[in-house]
Structure formats: structure tokens, C-alpha cells
Structure 1
Amino acid sequence: MNAEPLRVVMADDHPRLRAHIRRSLEVGGFEVCAEASSGPEAVRFTQEHQPDVVLLDIHMPGGGIRAAAEISRLLPEIAIVMLTVSRDDSDLFDSLRAGASGYLLKDTDPERLPAALRGVLSGEAAIPRTLVARILDEFRMPGQRRLGRRSTATGLLTSREWEVMGLLGEGLSTDDVAKRLFLSPTTVRVHISSVLRKLRVKDRQAAIDLLRDDRS
């Protein structure tokens, strides 16, 4: 008696790429139970279909990393693998922090994708060798490495994120910042969370201190 195929929800905002990936997965014995084109859709379809693994693009509407974090929170038993063109350290580490067990590049041979997903479901980490070296560097000399990336990290902040953090640095509360910038408090908190992820710090005061150092 044949085992049931492993089930996957895939999310990418490019239909042609989804079709290409779907063919590779189905040839490799997977059942694609849903295709999403945005982060929120990926979360919804994952809750609906309860697949074995979710395959997420990073830079799609709604954000793949945000979707990974939400899926990891709601359904921690489901494996998450990112499939992306991004070789950026921030995307790699943010994906792993969000709960991803794999980080595959879109130039990966499609025929290898089913085996990579099976490896993740068996407890392996699906990460290209070129990116594994960066993870090892991060843990060998974490303090020195992070200091060396400060300017690059703060350069990733949007102008709105700089505005929000600047006002917080002046002592304004979240509600005060929201009123000053004509935003909702929830939107301000989203900006703060984004800054903390980009700077890899635990709280807003650490972010404020880091940004002050970067501009001095």
C-alpha cells in the first residue's frame, strides 16, 4: 500500500513560477493543496489545509517572513521553507527567527526541491552551503559581526521608520508618535517591530541607542 503524498501549500506572487514549482513538486511525489499569492493568503490556506510543509516567497505582498512568523505561532508543527532570490543576511536571519526550517534560493535546481523539503520534514535544515557559512560566522563572533554590520542595517530603514524612531528618541510615547505622524498606534508598532528585526535588537531603547551611534 502506497503512502499518502506529502502535502504542501506554496506562496509566490508570480503565477508562472508557481506553476513551474508545482510541476516539480508533483513529479517528486508532493500534493500541492493550495497556491497563495500573498502572505495573508498563505496563512489562511495553511490554517485551512493543514499541510506538511509551507513554501513561502519572502518578497510577496504581505511579506513572506511575516507570514512565516504567523504560521509558526498558530501551527508550530508545520514545517516552513522560504524560497527566494534574496541572499541578504537580514532576510536569512529574520526567516530563521520567524520559524523557517529551510531557506532555498530560486536558482536551486527544481528537481532537487522535493528532496530538500523531505529533508526538512525529517529534521534537516535546507540551507545552501554558501549561506551556511554566514550562519557559522554569526555564531563564531556574534558581537564583532553585528558591530560590523551596523551601518548596513540602519541603511535599510525607511524614511518613515527613521521618523518614528527619531520621535521615540525624543521621549514621545507610541500614542504621541501616532498623533504627530497622523498614523494609528498599531501602524507605529508595526514600524517599531520592523526596525527591531532589521537592527537585530531586542527592544526600542537598544534600537534608539544604535541609531544615535550610527548618525553620530
Structure 2
Amino acid sequence: MEGEIRIVMADDHPPTRSRIRDLLEAGGFVVSAEAANAADVIRMALEHRPDVVLLDIHMPGNGIRAAAELSRSLPGTRVVMLTHSRDDEDLFDALRAGAVGYLLKDDEPDRLTTGLRQVMAGEASVSASVVTRILQEFRAPARRLFSRRSAAAAKLSSREWEVMELLSQGLSTEEVAKRLFLSPTTVRVHVSTVLRKLRVKDRQSAIDLLREE
């Protein structure tokens, strides 16, 4: 039928795929194919050449790598990420890979169909809560308890430094996770990596080292 918007979608969780398919079909879209990993979604997209490819970020094979490959191979197809991740690094990596949309799975159901129609109209579409989180980061007053340019801090990634800076301000793991839209487990992983990089035994030792320089 003329005017149909055809979609190939990928998510490694079958119930999530079923829910998304129902939302899309109820919104008047046509789901041409479904995949559970990056390799399959690339193959299916090349076969069906849809209007939109809808990708999860954290699926087998890496959704951002799939986005980059599809942006190169199918320049006429819009790539949109549908994810739980509010991590700004995931957002920026997705945009660099060629995605024109970044929507969250826990948005209101009609946000998905509205966002897809926006990208089909030539607009970018990013979930409002992600935009709000990034604006908060840029508008937040500087409160630096140690230098980003120190030799110790130079060993850390931007996210690791951000985690340690917030911990140095007295925030708990859970508070840091909430502030950065991460899980507490992810915060703990970042801290463990920092301890290994700085060759110290605990968080306070890492903070003391970063403050010294």
C-alpha cells in the first residue's frame, strides 16, 4: 500500500519485540522483519530495504556497530535507536554512527510512533528525558574537588572521572547512579576500573590521590 512506512526491528528480548511490533502495527506501520542480533538485522535490512531500522543498543553484536554499518550501506534508510540506556555516551555514539533518533523503551507508547513519524519527516527525534539529562549536565554549576587535568585523572575515561567526582562530593553509589542515569552495578564497575587504573585499594584512596594532584 502506498504511503506505508516499512520497518525492520531488532531486539534480543522476544516479549519486547512482540510489544514493539504491536505498537507499530497499531500505529499504522508495517514491520517487514524482526531480528535478535546485529548480524541478522543488517542482513534483513539489506534484503528488505525498509524506511526505518529500529535498533536496540545493547544486543548481541552491538546495536551501535549495526547502526554504523546500516548508515553506510543504506543511506536512504533512517536508523533509530530504541533502548533503556540514558547514558550520554550511548547517545553520542549512536548519533556519530548515523542514528537520527534515540527513543527510550519506557517512554509513553505513542512516543515511539510519533518519533518515527518525525524522522520520516526529516527531523531528529530524541526522548525528552535524555535531552533534559544532558541539559542538566551542561547547566550544572562547576564544583570540582580535583583537577580533570591531573596525572591521575588523565588515566580515567570521562565517565570514570564523572563517577569519582560525584563520589568525592559525598554522594552514595545509588545517588551517583540516579544522577548519571546508570545502574548501581554500572557505577560499581566504573569504580573497580578506577581502583585498578590508579593501583589503590579503595574509593577513598582513589579520591585522595585525585585530590593531591
Query: How high is the TM-score relative to the length of structure 2?
Result: 0.64
Aligned to 1:92: 91
% identity of equivalent residues: 56
Distance 2:72 2:138 in 1: 25
Distance in 1, Cα, partners of 2:107 & 2:31: 19
Please state if 1:152 is matched with 2:159. Answer: yes
Matched residue, 1:82: 81
Instruction: Give how far 1:96 is off.
Output: 0.5
**Superposition RMSD in Å:** 3.2
The equivalent residue for 1:122 is 121
Partners in 1 of 2:116 and 2:56 — Cα distance? 15
Q: CA deviation at 1:93?
A: 0.6
Structure 2 partner of 1:7: 6
Tell me the SS of whatever aligns to 1:103: strand
Aligned partner of 1:126: which letter?
Answer: S
Q: CA deviation at 1:89?
A: 1.3
Q: Which amino acid aligns with 1:88?
A: D
Distance, in Å, in 1 between the alignment partners of 2:55 and 2:102 is 9
Residues 30-74 of structure 1 deviation map (CA, whole Å, 9 limit, x = unaligned): 000000000111111110000000100001000100000000011
TM value normalised by structure 1: 0.64
Partner of 2:102: 103
Q: How many residues align?
A: 159
Which whole-Å CA distance do the structure 2 matches of 1:138 and 1:67 have between them? 28
Structure 1 residues 132 and 41, CA, compared in 2 at 3 Å: closer, same or farther?
A: same
SS at match of 1:86: coil
Gaps of 5+ in 1: 141-146, 163-212
> 2-side partners of 1:111 and 1:151: how far apart?
34
Summarize deviations over 1:79-99 as a string: whole Å, max 9, x none.
011000111111111001000
Tell me, which stretches of 5 or more residues in structure 2 are unaligned? 140-147, 162-188, 197-209
Find the aligned partners of 1:102 and 1:4 in 2 and give their Cα distance: 21
Structure 1 match to 2:27: 28
Match of 1:209 in 2: none
More helix per residue: 1
What does 1:1-216 align with in structure 2 at a 5 Å threshold? 3-133=2-132, 150-153=157-160
**How far apart are the structure 1 equivalents of 2:39 and 2:137?**
31
Structure 1 distance, partners of 2:130, 2:87, is: 9
CA distance 1:139–1:96, shift in 2 (3 Å): farther
Q: Provide the rounded CA distance (Å) in 2 between the counterparts of 1:151 and 1:26.
A: 40
Compared with structure 1, are the counterparts of its residues 73 and 93 closer, same or farther at alpha carbon in structure 2 (3 Å cutoff)? same
Matches of 1:129 and 1:110 in 2, distance apart? 14
What is the rounded CA distance, in whole Å, between the counterparts of 2:41 and 2:59 in structure 1?
Answer: 11
Provide the rounded CA distance (Å) in 2 between the counterparts of 1:107 and 1:42: 22
- After TM superposition, give the deviation of residue 153 of structure 1 in Å: 4.7
